[in-house]
Amino acid sequence: MAQAPVTTRGRGGRAGTWYLFLVPALLLYSLFVVYPLLTGLSYSVFSWKGTVRDAFVGVDNYVGLFTNEAFRSKLLPALGHNLALFAGTMLVQNTMGLAFALAFSRARRGKRALQIIFATPYLVNPLVIGYLWTLLLSPTFGPANTLLRAIGPDELAKPWLGDPSTALPMVILITTWQWVGFPMLLFSAAIGGIPAEYAEAARVDGASSWRVFWHITLPLLRPAIGTITVLSFIGSMNTFALVYALGGSSGGPAGSTDVLGLLFYRAAFASGDINAVGTASALAVFLFTFIFGTTILLNRILRQGEEAM
Amino acid sequence: MTPRRGAVMVPLMLWGYALVAMIPLFVMVLGSLRPTQDLFNDPIGLPNKLYLSNYTRAWTEASFSTYVLNSVVVVTGAVILGAAVSVLAAYPLGRRKFTGRGFFIGYFISGMTLPGHFGVLPLFYLLDGLNLVDSRLGLMLVYAAGSVPFNVFVLSAFFRQLPGELDEAAALDGAGPFATFRHIMLPLVRPAIATVVVFQFVPLWNDFFYPLVLLRDESKLTIPVGLTHFFGRFQNDWGTLFAGLVMTTLPLVILFGIATRQIVAGLTAGMNR
Amino acid sequence: MRLTRRVAVLAVASLTALVACAPGADSGSDDENVTLSVWGWGPEANYDKMFAEYTKDNPGVKVDARSFTTATEYDTILSTGLAGKDGPDVAWLRAGAPLQPLVAAGRLVPLDNSSVPGLADFNAGVLQGAKGDTDGKVYGVPFAIQTLHVIYNKKIFADNGIAPPKTWEDMIAAAQKLQAAKIVPFAVGGKDDWTLPIITSIFGTSRWGGDAFLDEVKAGKKTFADPNFVAGVDLVNQLKPYFPKDVAGVSYTDAQTLFSAGKAAMFPGGIWEVNFFRTNAPGLDLGTFSAPPPPGSVAGKALLPGFMDGSYGVSANSKHREEALKLLSWLASKKYGQLYTDTVVQFSAVPGVEPKDPILREVAGTYTSNGARYFMNEFAYGNPSSQTVFSAALQEMLLGRITAAQAAAKLDASVATWLKPR
């Protein structure tokens, strides 16, 4: 077999060979994910009688969506909450994940145990996470408030999930609690891939730990940071299970945790509308265009930054 | 921070957070050892005496004995299939430039950006047409396909990050693309594979929506469907539910322990190179 | 090429996996024995008990009941189940709006007095919730009626010298007395907003005048912006001081716990709560009362709102339609009605069934004389549904962000998107 010279990230390799690597994934994914999704998107130009397709209606479902005040007035706040969730996830969850990974890269004892403990919340069913945190933060029975009353003035005790000003920050913290294991593991794996000599060489030159992190480790982690950023973005834009479990289908209290995923859920699965499939599909097309477009853009920007290094 | 202070502070903070991470889970385990009646009168408290009826009830009424095997087969099969096809695809997508690469990356990402459960109706019609409703294989394929975008995305980033000299050296030794992939690349991305496997396994293990929509026969159902028996419409049997959750979460903890060993092994392998 | 071959093998393998997944083992029905599959959302043990009786009377027919207790997913599960092969023969149908997509899709067999003779005796109001809105045909045999009222702890009332209130002023005085004794008067959980229309109905129905008002709204003569409806909604605001502190942060289960632990004296809720409290707090001595008429009440008397909860329908795809219809006739019989109310401790929708449970008996008497229709069940149409819109609005009201008039205006605007006055 003739071997083309391999140059990483170069023009090398026969395109045909690389396509073969893609074939199994493409087959599986196209049939069971893309095909149903495209079919689903095509549903948006029809009117529906329950689960039976009725007449072709063109853009009627879209028009109906945007002339509906109850929907329109919720769209921007929901998008804002998704973006706040993304910002919160980046600042709290991913920063903590990186800090844990760095700490573990040096730790000798207790590393495995701690890694498992930090990731355990992820293993629990999201519905139950909602119940557990509602209980822990409850204004009537919650130990969190009992503790706060014990250590400080009574004003510290709050209905954390029942107050519109604190509910969304709580969602960010609980998301972090649930998910922090993921960036932690991904960063751990990435840090493990950095040859130890790089840092050693720098230390021999007298660089402090902080400078080693800032000038050597962090730049080398850019692909991992990019991956986690994009996944956090998608995760934040599509978040559903946890907000549903914590605030119900309307994103309570008073819509303060309403997100795009709940908007779709209400249109698709909790409406009193025979044409729910048509309306919900139109909404899905709209959300998909926006989220997918932004994700591709974000991915491109991050990759360009990476390759400019 | 001086090394000495760091040596004390860092473990202290880590174990402090470990406590926060575990508190809700302690509540769950303690709850599983108390009768639901007690839970309703005093939601957070210690068990008075050893009370194991929740466990026996969960085991029998949720038919766990029937469902465990189904869950293991379906979820394990899906995760292995999903990871296998994804790691193949991620290699060229992460390391090579070829016509259409950008398109394929976008194509795979698109599957992650739709609202949850959006495709359930067309998916149901598709499987119905393929005679895959009420089939464990059908559910497995749906799960495996659903895991492809995330897997491809994470794994290709890992391939991209590996030092460039590796495949050059392999090429100089005369290795072909598949040999390079199999013998050089695959061992290096093992920690990443372990990561995606764990992070795909968990939501599938916990999912009850798709089994409820796609399976019919009692003998084919998976564990979470059993748990839904305790989420009553107007009565939630929390004690039994907690017991069921403890039983279903334990295998995940064990899996996770094994996976972190893989990750650690991968890390050491990475460092030696 | 080794590589190409390996990839090709993988590709072929995945393809064959797809093709080879031909139909699994055929569940096949024996010639003599018919198995009817029934889907629903209640506790499964109850079904097994009830259908065992049917098999006893009808040898050769087995009933395989499956329960999908997560109510929110049930609609999706049922709509796909009825659309494909191997779905249920008989299924629980939700009342009113959620039933309509199934009717419109032609998934159900319309019923009449000849196919299900028992239907003729059912109360017309009860059957209304099992009808298709466009064709007026009946699609299900109703099984349960739920009533909404205040459930109270008899011991706490006695300890504080309180009797079930006959007037609104009595109720407020009782609430104040309880509050002074450090007991939460009303256990309400405002965090789970689906409970709020129920609370509103319990206290407000008498104020806006019950069924007459609903009919006027449907006829286009009045709207939910009507001052009488607004005043009814505002009663919830007036009672807020007697709800738990920070009520919008209190969950439904917290509210249940407050009551079952004896920290709250009254629980405004549905009849289904009675059995829940019996099971989880067997020591409680329970009573119920309908909220007394508030000042300005249009009805002028206490009203007890209730609604038809669901019905049994037959799938149009059923291979055993005849046997399924026969089962429905049994489900419309007094025998089943009695079995249902005794097993589930809720009201059967079958006419003439007398519950044995003392609390149910008491409520049944009041419902016959003072019953009214629960408003929300009949106005749950639209996308987003008016029920969702109003539940969220009531939560905002409890947070003090909007007034009762604004909450009612939101319901009015939502209803206007779909209501076509007759």
3-state secondary structure of C103: helix
Contact C292, C120 (CB under 8 A): no
pLDDT reading at C15 higher than 70: no
Helices (H), A137-180: 143-151, 164-179
pLDDT class of A94 with cuts at 50, 70, 90: very high
Same fold, C34-145+308-368 and C146-306+371-416: yes
| Residue with the two structure tokens 């038919």 | B63
* Of C125, C148, C66, residue with least CA distance to C349: C125
Under an 8 A CB cutoff, do B228 and C68 touch?
yes
Under an 8 A CB cutoff, do B135 and C24 touch?
yes
CATH number for the segment(s) C146-306+371-416: 3.40.190.10
Tell me if the bond preceding C23 is cis, omega within 30° of 0: no
- What pLDDT sits at residue C26? 40
pLDDT class of A236 with cuts at 50, 70, 90: very high
The percent helix, strand, coil of chain A (3-state, each to 5) is 75, 5, 25
Indicate the pairing of strand C61-67 with strand A46-49: unpaired
pLDDT class of A192 with cuts at 50, 70, 90: confident
Q: Which residues of C touch B235 (CB under 8 A)?
A: 43, 275-276, 279-280
pLDDT reading at A6 higher than 60: no
- What pLDDT sits at residue B3? 54
Min Cα separation C20/chain A (Å): 15
**C71-83 vs B120-129: helix axis angle to the nearest 10?**
40
Total Cβ atoms within 10 A of residue C88: 25
Indicate the pairing of strand C184-186 with strand A52-56: unpaired
For residues A285 and A268, what is the distance between their CA atoms, to the nearest angstrom? Answer: 13
Under an 8 A CB cutoff, do B235 and C76 touch?
no
Q: Is C176 on the interface with B (CB under 8 A)?
A: no
For residues C94 and C80, what is the distance between their CA atoms, to the nearest angstrom? Answer: 15
- What pLDDT sits at residue C29? 44
pLDDT reading at C24 higher than 80: no
Q: Which residues of B touch C147 (CB under 8 A)?
A: none
For residues B161 and A8, what is the distance between their CA atoms, to the nearest angstrom? Answer: 11
C-alpha C365, offset from chain centre? 20
**pLDDT tens digits, C344-389:** 889 999 999 999 999 999 999 999 999 999 999 999 999 999 999 9
C353-to-C130, C146, C329, C337 alpha-carbon distances in Å: 19, 14, 16, 6
- What pLDDT sits at residue B224? 85
Helices (H), chain B: 3-32, 36-41, 53-61, 64-95, 101-110, 120-129, 136-161, 165-172, 177-179, 186-188, 190-206, 209-214, 223-227, 238-272
Contact A204, A197 (CB under 8 A): no
Under an 8 A CB cutoff, do C73 and B209 touch?
yes
Give the best residue of B213, B219, B236 to mutate against chain C (max C CB count within 10 A). B213
pLDDT reading at C322 higher than 80: yes
* Side-chain-side CA neighbours of residue B270 (13 Å): 27
**pLDDT tens digits, C37-80:** 999 987 777 888 899 999 998 988 999 988 886 666 788 889 99
pTM: 0.89
Element (H, E) at C355: none
- What pLDDT sits at residue C314? 97
- Nearest chain B residue to A224 by CA: give it: B157
Burial class of B19 by CB neighbour count within 10 A (0 to 12, 13 to 18, 19+): exposed
C34-145+308-368 to CATH, choices 3.40.1390.20, 3.40.50.12500, 3.50.50.60, 3.40.190.10? 3.40.190.10
Min Cα separation B179/chain C (Å): 8
Q: Is A91 on the interface with C (CB under 8 A)?
A: no
Q: Is A246 on the interface with B (CB under 8 A)?
A: no
Question: Phi, psi (5° rounding) for residue C185?
Answer: -65, -55
Domain annotation for chain B: domains and CATH numbers: 68-209+254-272 (1.10.3720.10)
Q: Which residues of C touch B141 (CB under 8 A)?
A: 17-18, 21
Retrieve residue B108's tokens.
């795979």
Under an 8 A CB cutoff, do A140 and C384 touch?
no
Which of B109, B123, B263 is closest, CB to CB, to A296?
B109
Element (H, E) at C194: none
Domain boundaries of chain C, sorted by first residue:
34-145+308-368, 146-306+371-416
Retrieve residue C216's tokens.
């006027």
**pLDDT tens digits, C395-409:** 999 999 999 999 999
Under an 8 A CB cutoff, do C69 and B231 touch?
yes
User: What angle (nearest 5°) sits at the alpha carbon of residue C338, between those of residues C337 and C343?
Assistant: 100
- What pLDDT sits at residue B263? 65
Which of residues 146 through 175 in chain C touch B, CB cutoff 8 A? none
**Among the listed ranges A52-56, A60-64, B179-183, C150-154, which one has the minimum average pLDDT value?**
B179-183
**Among the listed ranges A117-126, B260-269, C202-211, C410-419, which one has the minimum average pLDDT value?**
B260-269
Would you give the DSSP letter of residue A78? H
At position C89, the amino acid (one-letter code) is D
**A35-42 vs B120-129: helix axis angle to the nearest 10?**
120
Q: Is A268 on the interface with B (CB under 8 A)?
A: yes
Highest-scoring range by mean pLDDT, A32-41, A121-130, C26-35, C325-334 = C325-334
**pLDDT tens digits, C139-150:** 999 999 999 999
C-alpha B272, offset from chain centre? 29
* Of A176, C25, A25, C110, residue with least CA distance to B144: A25
- What pLDDT sits at residue B120? 87
Under an 8 A CB cutoff, do A132 and B111 touch?
no
pLDDT class of A99 with cuts at 50, 70, 90: very high
* Of B44, B233, B50, residue with least CA distance to C261: B44
End-to-end Cα distance, chain A: 35
**pLDDT beneath 50: ranges in chain B:** 1, 268-273
Under an 8 A CB cutoff, do A37 and B119 touch?
yes
Question: Phi, psi (5° rounding) for residue A12?
Answer: -65, 175
For residues A150 and A214, what is the distance between their CA atoms, to the nearest angstrom? Answer: 41
**Among the listed ranges A2-6, A128-132, C161-165, which one has the minimum average pLDDT value?**
A2-6
Instruction: Report the percent of chain A where pLDDT is more than 90.
Output: 48
pLDDT class of A149 with cuts at 50, 70, 90: confident
Burial class of C18 by CB neighbour count within 10 A (0 to 12, 13 to 18, 19+): middle
Min Cα separation B15/chain A (Å): 8
Retrieve residue B135's tokens.
């089939």
Q: Is C11 on the interface with B (CB under 8 A)?
A: no
Contact B217, C27 (CB under 8 A): yes
Under an 8 A CB cutoff, do B149 and A33 touch?
yes
Fold of A46-307: MetI-like fold (1.10.3720)
ipTM of the complex: 0.87
Contact A177, A126 (CB under 8 A): no
**pLDDT tens digits, B27-37:** 889 989 988 88
- Nearest chain A residue to C97 by CA: give it: A272
Q: Is C422 on the interface with A (CB under 8 A)?
A: no
* Of C416, C404, C349, residue with least CA distance to C379: C416
Q: Is A273 on the interface with C (CB under 8 A)?
A: yes
pLDDT reading at C17 higher than 70: no
Element (H, E) at A105: helix A95-106
pLDDT class of A200 with cuts at 50, 70, 90: confident
Give the best residue of C3, C79, C146 to mutate against chain B (max B CB count within 10 A). C3
More confident residue, A269 or C211: C211
Min Cα separation A212/chain C (Å): 42
Question: CB neighbours of A68 closer than 8 A, spacing ≥ 6?
Answer: C383, C417
**pLDDT tens digits, C263-277:** 999 999 999 999 889
Min Cα separation C325/chain A (Å): 24
Min Cα separation A179/chain B (Å): 10
pLDDT reading at A292 higher than 80: yes
Indicate the pairing of strand C141-153 with strand C264-270: antiparallel
Under an 8 A CB cutoff, do A250 and C105 touch?
no
Under an 8 A CB cutoff, do B234 and C21 touch?
no
Q: Is B92 on the interface with C (CB under 8 A)?
A: no
Q: Is A309 on the interface with B (CB under 8 A)?
A: no
Contact C72, A269 (CB under 8 A): yes
Contact B137, A32 (CB under 8 A): no
- What pLDDT sits at residue B99? 85
For residues C143 and C50, what is the distance between their CA atoms, to the nearest angstrom? Answer: 13
**pLDDT tens digits, C219-252:** 999 999 999 999 999 999 999 999 999 999 999 9
Which of C21, C77, C86 is closest, CB to CB, to B137?
C21
Chains touching A, CB cut-off 8 Å, 3+ pairs: B, C
Which of residues 152 through 171 in chain A touch B, CB cutoff 8 A? none
At position C298, the amino acid (one-letter code) is V
Highest-scoring range by mean pLDDT, A40-44, A121-125, A220-224, C39-43 = A40-44
For residues A194 and C224, what is the distance between their CA atoms, to the nearest angstrom? Answer: 66
- What pLDDT sits at residue B95? 85
For residues A262 and B227, what is the distance between their CA atoms, to the nearest angstrom? Answer: 24
Under an 8 A CB cutoff, do A128 and B28 touch?
yes
For residues B263 and A115, what is the distance between their CA atoms, to the nearest angstrom? Answer: 11
Which of residues 52 through 91 in chain A touch B, CB cutoff 8 A? none
Tell me if the bond preceding C244 is cis, omega within 30° of 0: no
| Residue with the two structure tokens 């969730």 | A85
- What pLDDT sits at residue B217? 84
Chains touching B, CB cut-off 8 Å, 3+ pairs: A, C
Tell me if the bond preceding B47 is cis, omega within 30° of 0: no
Total Cβ atoms within 10 A of residue A141: 22
* Of A7, A71, A139, residue with least CA distance to A279: A71
At position C80, the amino acid (one-letter code) is T
| Residue with the two structure tokens 């049917």 | C54
- What pLDDT sits at residue A11? 40
Which of residues 9 through 48 in chain B touch A, CB cutoff 8 A? 10-11, 14-15, 17-18, 20-25, 27-28, 43-44
Under an 8 A CB cutoff, do C383 and A275 touch?
yes
